[in-house]
Structure 1
Amino acid sequence: MVLPKVTAQTSDDNYKEPIVKTIKTIESIFKITIDDKDGLLKEKELEYARWRIRQDNLEVSLTAVLTPFNLTYFKENDSVYRIRKFEYARNSDAVGKARLEYLADLYPSLKAWETRKADLKSCIITSIGLDKAPAMPNKKPILTKVRKYGNYTVENIGLEIMPGVFATGSIYKPYPLKGKAPLVITPNGHFGDGRYRKDEQLRCAILAKMGAVVVNFDLFAWGESTLQFDSTLHRQSIAQTIQVLSAERLLDYMLSQKYIDKNRVGVTGGSGGGSMTMFLAAIDDRITVSVPVVMTSSHFSGGCPCESGRGLHLCGNGTNNAEIAAMAAPKPQLIISDGGDWTATVPELEFPFIQKTYGLYGNKELVENAHFAKEGHNYGESKRMAMYPFMAKHLGLDSNKVKNSKGEIDESSCVIEAYEKMYVFGAKGEKLPANALKDINQLYALFGEKNLKQ
């Protein structure tokens, strides 16, 4: 490689030079290629540029010259590095690996892990803001007429989780409902139509057919929640608070029902719902089984503020979703991943780390990974078919009730409802209670906060 031509520089101009020239110097020193195909370095100049280079450390050098511009790098392979905009929630898998190695050294024993787990749990609760949430009003939920579909039923629920703030969803129950049934809560992710989409309805119906009571609910400023808060507000950090709080208070209500078995409580969701699945299993001891789908990663904590906006990943001087998933130990957990997103590294990277944490309890076998290397980011049929038997095994469900003559779980008998049937407050929101809060600033005020995005 030809060395870049050195031009005279002095302290008179603070040793300023174009950053593309500094990058060429780094390429020459470390004999690598730095890819800036997005043109992020164009027309940028850096003071004290070459003074920032550490000739013995490539990563330190790149960090020093890129950080002033909110840029970072991803290692593509041993000889190619790519320039990217800095994203607080996203890193390279190499960084994820280094972090997991660091975290594993923090707790070589069960006692050390339990101490860290307790600290993380307390911090996560505080970061989300659950400790500042107003009490749930002592009011009965709004329940719609029950629809019966063979061996399961569906009804919609509007639960006032705080004064004027409603969580909206649907409750699926086995029919007839005899004795005490396990409960499964299914937070939905950013998949198109949320809880109204076909895939979402199918998994709720099948779980109900197998014997579980299932609750699915809208994201904040999504679905019927938009009757109160415009969809543009979904990307504010308060969304994370309301979504986790909705799950917690739906759990409070459902677990108060005599027909629910409090010792059998599952949670599963994909994408953003996978994030909530991990959070709930980490902080709520009532959860006994969890199945986070296409979200467990050491190097990505969710691109939406509704997943990462409250800073909970800063807890414990830095954590990630792999460690948060490990907090479910020693309770049964199935981690579902695929080859087309940030969970592609789970079999080699995140799962061994989580399994090691389970091993501190002597229960490595209670955490499993179903990996679909040729699939992408979804909660599709193959992933549901991995989830069903796991839930059946650990919640005491009867999968024979949903199998066809070939012994396969058959979703074809499930009824896919029209959106209108799943609404709590009517097709046009005409039944929305008069006290429903619609001011985002007032919502923040309920937590003693100010809306900084005004």
Structure 2
Amino acid sequence: MNTIKNIKRAVLVSIFALLFSNVQAQTSDENFRKPVTETIKKIETIFHITITDDRGLLKGKELDYADWRIEQGNLEVSLANVLVPFELTYFKQPDGSYLVRKFESHKVSVDKGKERLDFLTNLYPKLSDWEARKKELKACMRTSFGLDKAPLMPKSKPILTPKRIYKDYSVENIGLEILPGVYVTGSIYKPYPLNKKAAIILTPDGHFGDGRYRNDEQYRCAIIAKMGAIVVSYDLFAWGESLLQFPEETHRNSIASTVQVLSGMRLLDYLATIKNADVSRIGVTGSSGGGSHTMFLAALDDRITVSAPVVMVSSHFSGGCPCESGRGIHLCGNGTNNAEISAMMAPKPQLIVSDGKDWTLAVPELEFPFIQHTYGFYGKKDLVENAHFPNEGHDFGVSKRMALYPFMAKYLGLDLNKVKNAKGEIDESTCVMEPKEKMFVFGDKGEKLPANALKDINKLYEMFGEKNHKVYEIKK
């Protein structure tokens, strides 16, 4: 019996040895290993293109079976085969050349953005298809942000500073407890005197050095208040006065995006209670990261009636900060982008402001026609506009503000004449630029921060039934 077992064992060993020898026979001593730069040069020769590695991402990298990964007749598959093992990708340039880039979930090349928009255009050929898509996206975004798990807003009264009275408007600072121990801080600009119904406008801040204290934000809020709206400008999470609660490193926690969306919604809840606030006229506008949250609020909060995202609508860039893209909302619907999220505002009035020196450079030819097509489902193409500034960069500069004011006046029933000078020009010089210390709600050194203020990012996550997986070191 043992002899039979030994024979069987020997046969099995022989079979495995034979199989192994066959595998070995198909394998080169060096596995055709070579520097990736050599294979890239070969791809250039085969496909008659130029590939640039201006950041030296391929330096020193070698790849097994490198040349075997080239598929003649399929350039993009060949590039992907060679670059993906190193978490690299490629960006096609307008001149037909290619750039090697590190893979980033929030950024693709313009041509990839176009491919996605073409796919989406065919995905919903009629209004009913689009409405179903929008419903799906909205539900997924709410879940991704964690809004369905958010604790109720505390019933504490908002903390308000005394008003500063200027020509035709007033300013007061606010600290509003939007979650237990979590305060959003900002400034409320109102027409002065506020003796009749006024529209409401939210202005989420973006990633600019001086935050909501910078001049261009003060100009914008003051002018719109003079025109007849109640305007609130508010800090990003772990930015401005929010730093009293959470260190700046926590701004790049994904929970920041959830808090920022809730900040807008719950500030709106409060503003709706102000005497003479007209809840039938509600606008939102912000630039950069504030542009992202302008789109998010417009897509998620049905109370918004007018939207103006500035220098942020793009099909190929969704924001480089987790406070914009960290919750995976752009995975909703098996993949979406900011152009489609912007389109969710349809058929309500929307002004898309873009420029030629950031990721909104292609808006007139790419994203705007796509969004306008969506408005066309409702027969309302005229309600979406694009103000494009090809020679300008990433800001909310004066020309962009001058495009915003008439749009908001037109669709929110504001009075442009109140801000025009004798020449009929919109005149921002009548606005007072306040020092940031004057815009604090909790005092120059944070001495008025409420005793219950939360300072533990982990406990913030726990409110939503989550754990904080973001590792960071607090700067000393």
TM-score (norm 2): 0.92
419, 429, 436: which is aligned to 1:419? 436
CA contact (8 A) 1:330 1:366 kept: yes
Residue 340 in structure 1 maps to residue 357 in structure 2:
yes
Residue 45 in structure 1 maps to residue 58 in structure 2:
no
Q: Aligned equivalents of 1:449 and 1:14: distance in 2? A: 46
CA contact (8 A) 2:159 2:176 kept: yes
Q: Aligned equivalents of 2:65 and 2:254: distance in 1? A: 37
- After superposition, give the CA deviation of every residue in 1:221-261 in whole Å (9 maximum; x if it has no partner): 00000000011211111111111111111011111334211
Count residues with an aligned counterpart: 446
The runs of at least 4 consecutive aligned structure 1 residues that moved more than 6 Å come to: none
Cα drift, residue 107 of structure 1: 0.5
CA contact (8 A) 1:31 1:79 kept: no
76, 95, 100: which is aligned to 2:117? 100
Point out the structure with max Rg over C-alpha: 2
SS at match of 1:347: coil
The letter for the 2-side match of 1:95 is K
SS at match of 1:264: strand
Residue 446 in structure 1 maps to residue 459 in structure 2:
no
Q: Where in structure 2 are the equivalents of 1:286-325 lying within 5 Å?
A: 286-325=303-342
Aligned partner of 1:217 in structure 2 is: 234
The letter for the 2-side match of 1:262 is V
Sort the Cα spacing of 1:79 and 1:203 in 2 relative to 1 into closer, same or farther, 3 A: closer
Aligned partner of 1:264 in structure 2 is: 281
Residue 407 in structure 1 maps to residue 424 in structure 2:
yes
Residue 232 in structure 1 maps to residue 236 in structure 2:
no
Please tell me the root mean square deviation across aligned C-alpha atoms, in Å: 1.1
Sort the Cα spacing of 1:157 and 1:301 in 2 relative to 1 into closer, same or farther, 3 A: same
Residue 115 in structure 1 maps to residue 120 in structure 2:
no
Q: Aligned equivalents of 2:332 and 2:53: distance in 1? A: 33
Aligned partner of 1:3 in structure 2 is: none
Give 5+ residue unaligned stretches, structure 1. Answer: 1-8
- After superposition, give the CA deviation of every residue in 1:208-232 in whole Å (9 maximum; x if it has no partner): 0000000110000000000000112
Aligned partner of 1:328 in structure 2 is: 345
The letter for the 1-side match of 2:341 is I
The letter for the 1-side match of 2:163 is V
369, 390, 401: which is aligned to 1:384? 401
Q: Aligned equivalents of 1:191 and 1:295: distance in 2? A: 14
SS at match of 2:392: coil
SS at match of 2:428: coil
Q: Aligned equivalents of 1:424 and 1:306: distance in 2? A: 23
Deviates more, 1:412-421 or 1:360-369: 412-421
CA contact (8 A) 2:163 2:172 kept: yes
Q: Where in structure 2 are the equivalents of 1:120-159 lying within 5 Å?
A: 120-159=137-176
Q: Where in structure 2 are the equivalents of 1:3-42 lying within 5 Å?
A: 10-42=27-59
TM-score (norm 1): 0.97
Sort the Cα spacing of 1:112 and 1:36 in 2 relative to 1 into closer, same or farther, 3 A: same
Aligned partner of 1:176 in structure 2 is: 193
Q: Aligned equivalents of 1:59 and 1:78: distance in 2? A: 16
Q: Aligned equivalents of 2:418 and 2:302: distance in 1? A: 30
CA contact (8 A) 1:170 1:422 kept: yes
224, 232, 246: which is aligned to 1:207? 224
SS at match of 2:83: helix
SS at match of 1:122: helix
Cα drift, residue 48 of structure 1: 2.8
Aligned partner of 2:296 in structure 1 is: 279
SS at match of 1:203: helix
